[in-house]
Chains A and B, each alone.
Chain A
């Protein structure tokens, strides 16, 4: 009966023919940014293999090698390409391991924020009425407090509740929760406003006429239609989350120096800035900026590509 003469196009062909792909290969910024992002992510993932030294193996770290400048400077040592820090750890290797922590915290907190935000946004947008007003008032209040402040507060609370040693161990989780809880509002607001548009569209009413229960309509019909803007926010917030993590660690309330993130590394190096050992701060700083810049460029590109009305 059903003649399947027309093959369903494969995912790859659909991708190749899509406007998104076309816009990607025509924007050099996005290509460079994605190459850089992939490089940093790969370097961080495989830090154990790529890094010339294991900076956290006390057996190999030698205090006599402390504060060596980069290899190309007069006093540099060729085995420490970007120099060493105050404890004799290889700066290049600590950057690789540090990006790992930064990326883990970034991705995890964005995921947490997205899950909370999308759920709240879906419920608020679809149910409307008092529940919606209430949730959005909460979001409004939270939005007037910058993420960094909320993250600091949550971190402070965690410190108050947990004993000192335990806190260092769970510092990464505390950061993820702190950043995640301070970032959900944007998703909630965006998803809610999209849902309010979608909910009045006729395909939703068609689902109601069929007799589908609300949760099926919400998950199967509305959710896929509101994910576009969420993707854009998630990308831009990944950059923001990495910055926030670095900032908190720099302020001394993030991950401890025993397993440093990029922010912690910059904090450690900051103490040596005045005495001329600039490389301990600057190289992790450059790595951080390159990573965040790449992610931001991708986010900008994605926003423009998904919304052709905005040039």
Chain B
């Protein structure tokens, strides 16, 4: 290992606590050479960020290095006193953080922050440092660097700020760069540019980079070698092609098979049940069960049976802010004359980048926001015209929604039973309290949580399990139409695969119609029959899913499709095995 630039040997990181403490990294061995990008991949809680912080000796209290050594060019840097460590931070090892919006001091100009860092490490005059600052901004691709250098962080967009963060990390020509989820907070189009920039920097400057990420697509794009982490351990290290195409370790295999494939549509995600033990789903006989009665409204309302279930026409929404006692009012056109139909029984996808207005559409359809214009017809009735609350609730009950954030979408102060029973009680869907309880227990069984979950509070569950609670609550009104707003984007890929499988199963069993909103094209490809593409409040294209992926028509759709990660999952041999199992 002589050519290793940064060498981590048998690293142990501990977080002592009153519950006995957590070992965040156990016996971790990693090394990176000059001009190489080592990807460290793993799901949340795998301990990947801990590694970066341990190298920099910036572990948050009470975390500490419990064993092992870290070498930089053969020189031991673990357990150095802080004033020695400061000569390494920034000077020999640069670090890039995840969120560009919070990583920069809001009160100083970019020039001041750059010059301060440069002069900390290099013996330059103020003018020389300024010249260097401008040249750094130029190198990270910021246009007009001589002007922009004197701007404050809030004057830059998110992607531009991340370029400034990278420039700050490069101030003193470090030999190693630690990038901790550098593109996670960015939209796909910006993400692609930043990854390109990082790749160029490594190639041109011959630095070694450790890229910490949860995203297989990012790994496939830029990493030369990959280390896979699972519960604080590195389970497998090797060249990217080998790890992604033909991994040895069982965890790696199931992790990779859980990543939605951008290239083909699979019926289900294989091999994911082994990752987090998901409870047994109990099948119900829907012909007799309460849930099966969901079809009872099918016959009512003659027009509904032939037309689309949901018809949205010229929908408009404007957000206003400010406007009292002098503060300036501003408005934003979030949804701009959007029209689409959703047929009974299909899964309609809406895809777009953040701020494109896709989540606003979900909130308009469900009535959380009031539309500024246009119509929303559900089963032949225009909901925007309905004024009577009772009448409206009758329709609302038939459409339910699953939200993005599993932690905030259930009320932490209520027991799971009360969370799920609330819609049943409110809409008086059961005859008695004991029947309500039985229905809740059945629902919990049905989504794979088990009836015992009913007496617990949400904080006792993981993100994926909470998302199941959310799904059970949505099913509790016996809906016919389910809106999923980024239901898995806050989850790890393995959990995502389980939840997506569950949604597919439920849709089939209960004959649900779905509107599925996501920023993630591969997920859309796995889930949806038809897709609408949104950009800046407008729906630019609606197409059959396969047509969209094979031959997008609109320029923006083409652009989005072209940004999809090229990664294509396990080799065919593995897929065959996976499908069979």
Which residue numbers of A lie inside 8 Å of B, CB to CB?
1-6, 8, 22, 130, 133-134, 137, 201-203, 205-213, 221, 224-225
A-B pairs, top 3 by smallest CB distance, nearest first, are A202-B409, A202-B403, A133-B324
Q: Is the CB of B452 within 8 A of A203?
A: no
B368's partner among A4, A5, A208 (CB-CB below 8 A) is A208
Cα distance A225–B427 in the bound complex, in angstroms: 24
* Contact B401 A2, beta carbon cutoff 8 Å: no
Residues on A with C-beta less than 8 A from B18 are 22
Q: Which stretch from B39-47, B145-153, B392-400 is at the chain A interface? A: B392-400
Interchain CA distance A201-B438 in the complex, whole Å: 29
* Chain A CB within 8 A of B275 CB: no
**Further contacts, 20 of them, CB under 8 A, given A130-B324, A206-B473, A211-B426:** A1-B438, A2-B437, A3-B451, A4-B455, A22-B18, A133-B324, A201-B409, A202-B403, A202-B404, A203-B408, A209-B366, A209-B396, A209-B400, A209-B401, A210-B426, A211-B392, A212-B426, A213-B389, A221-B411, A224-B413
B411 and A2 within 8 A (CB): no
Would B325 and A206 count as touching, CB distance under 8 A? no
Contact B403 A225 (CB under 8 A): no
Q: Contact at A6–B455, with CB atoms within 8 Å?
A: yes
Measured between beta carbons, the chain A residues less than 8 angstroms from B438 are 1-2
Q: A3-B452, A6-B455, A209-B368 are in contact. Are A225 and B426 (CB under 8 A)?
A: no
Which of A130, A211, A221: most chain B Cβ within 10 A?
A211
B470 within 8 Å of A (CB atoms)? yes
Interface size on B, residues (CB 8 A): 40
Contact status A5-B400, CB under 8 Å = no
Q: A207 to chain B: which residues have CB within 8 Å?
A: 422
Asked whether, in the complex, the Cβ of A225 is within 8 Å of the Cβ of B412, the reply is: yes
What are 6 sample pairs from A and B whose C-beta atoms fall under 8 A apart? Answer: A2-B451, A202-B403, A202-B408, A203-B411, A208-B366, A210-B400
Chain A residues with Cβ below 8 Å from B413 are: 221, 224-225
CB distance from A61 to the nearest CB of B (A): 53
CB nearest to A132 among chain B residues: B324
A210 touches B422 (CB 8 A): yes
Shortest beta-carbon distance from A288 to chain B in Å: 37
Contacts of A212 in B (CB 8 A): 422, 426
List residues of chain B with CB within 8 A of the CB of A221.
411, 413-414
Which of A2, A201, A206, A225 has a CB less than 8 Å from the CB of B470?
A206
Given the known inter-chain contacts A203-B408, A225-B412, please indicate yes or no for A211 contacting B397, CB distance below 8 A.
Answer: yes
* Cβ of B395 to closest chain A Cβ, rounded Å: 9
CA distance A188 to B215 in the complex (A): 43
A194 to chain B, nearest CB (A): 13
B183, CB-defined interface residue at 8 Å: no
A-chain residues with CB within 8 Å of residue B392 when the two chains form the complex? 211
Tell me if B199 counts as interface (CB < 8 A to partner A).
no
- A206 with B409: CB separation less than 8 A: yes
Shortest CB distance B440–A (Å): 8
**How far, in angstroms, from A205 to B477 measured CA to CA in the complex?**
15
Interface class of chain A by DSSP: helix
Q: Do A210 and B423 form a contact, CB below 8 Å, given A133-B324, A203-B408?
A: yes
Cα distance, A61 to B332, chains bound together (Å): 77
Is B179 part of the binding interface, using a Cβ–Cβ cutoff of 8 Å? no
Distance from B104 Cβ to chain A, minimum over Cβ atoms (Å)? 22
The distance in angstroms between the C-alpha atoms of A1 and B440, with both chains bound, is 11
Distance A3 CA – B451 CA, assembled complex (angstroms): 7
Chain A, residue nearest B440 (CB): A2
Given the interface pairs A208-B368, A209-B400, the reply to whether A203 lies near B455 with Cβ below 8 Å is: no
Complex CA gap A5/B452 in Å reads 8
A253 to chain B, nearest CB (A): 35
B397's nearest neighbour on chain A, judged by CB, is A211
Docked complex Cα distance between A207 and B400 (Å): 10
Shortest Cβ distance from A22 into B: residue: B18
A211 to chain B, nearest CB (A): 4
**Taking the nearest CB of chain A, how far is it from the CB of B279, in angstroms?**
14
Report the separation of the CA atoms of residues A142 and B260 in the bound assembly, to the nearest whole angstrom: 57
Q: Which residues of B contact A211 (CB under 8 A)?
A: 392-393, 396-397, 423, 426-427
Q: Considering the complex, which residues of chain B in the window 321-362 have a beta carbon less than 8 Å from any beta carbon of chain A?
A: 324-325
Measured CB to CB, the closest approach of chain B to A280, in angstroms, equals 49
Q: Which residues of A contact B451 (CB under 8 A)?
A: 1-3
Contacts of A210 in B (CB 8 A): 396-397, 400, 422-423, 426-427, 477
Specify the chain B residue showing the minimal Cβ separation from A137: B325
B325 CB contact (under 8 Å) in A6, A133, A208:
A133
Chain B residue with the shortest CB-CB distance to A212 = B426
B404 partner residues in chain A, CB cutoff 8 A: 202
> From residue A77, how far is it (CB to closest CB) to chain B in Å?
53
Question: Would you call B454 an interface residue if the criterion is a C-beta within 8 Å of the partner chain's C-beta atoms?
Answer: yes
Q: Are B442 and A1 in contact (CB under 8 A)?
A: yes
B281 to chain A, nearest CB (A): 16
Cα distance A2–B401 in the bound complex, in angstroms: 27
Per-position binary interface string of chain B over residues 396-437, scored 1 when its CB falls under 8 Å from any chain A CB and 0 otherwise: 110111011100111111100000001100110000000001
B410: contacting residue among A6, A137, A203, A213, CB under 8 A: A203
Q: Which residues of B contact A134 (CB under 8 A)?
A: 324
- B423 close to A1 (CB less than 8 A): no
Selected from A3, A5, A22, A203, the residue in CB contact (under 8 A) with B409 is A203
Give Cα distance in the complex from A305 to B409, angstroms: 25
Contact of A206 with B442 at beta-carbon distance under 8 Å, contacts A2-B451, A3-B451, A211-B427 already known: no
Chain B residue with minimal CB distance to A217? B411
Q: How far is the CB of B170 from chain A (nearest CB, A)?
A: 32
Q: Does B206 sit within 8 A of A, measured CB to CB?
A: no
Assembly CA distance A210 to B418 (angstroms): 14
**Nearest Cβ distance between residue B246 and chain A, in whole angstroms?**
40
- A8 vs B451: C-alpha distance in the bound complex, in angstroms? 13
CB distance from B380 to the nearest CB of A (A): 20
Q: Once bound together, how far apart are the Cα atoms of A183 and B399, in whole Å?
A: 45
In the assembly, what is the distance between CA of A3 and CA of B400, in Å? 28
By beta carbon, the residue of chain B nearest A225 is B413
The smallest C-beta distance from A190 to any residue of chain B, in angstroms, reads 18
B119 close to chain A: CB less than 8 A: no
B363 at the interface (CB under 8 A from A): yes
Which chain B residues border A2 with CB–CB below 8 Å?
A: 437-438, 441, 451, 454
Residues of B within 8 A of A3 (CB): 451-452
Nearest A residue to B327, CB-CB: A133
* Distance in Å: Cβ of A1 to nearest Cβ of chain B: 5
Q: Which of B288-307 contact A (CB under 8 A)?
A: none
B443 to A: closest C-beta gap in Å: 12
How distant is A93 from chain B, measured CB to nearest CB, in Å?
A: 45
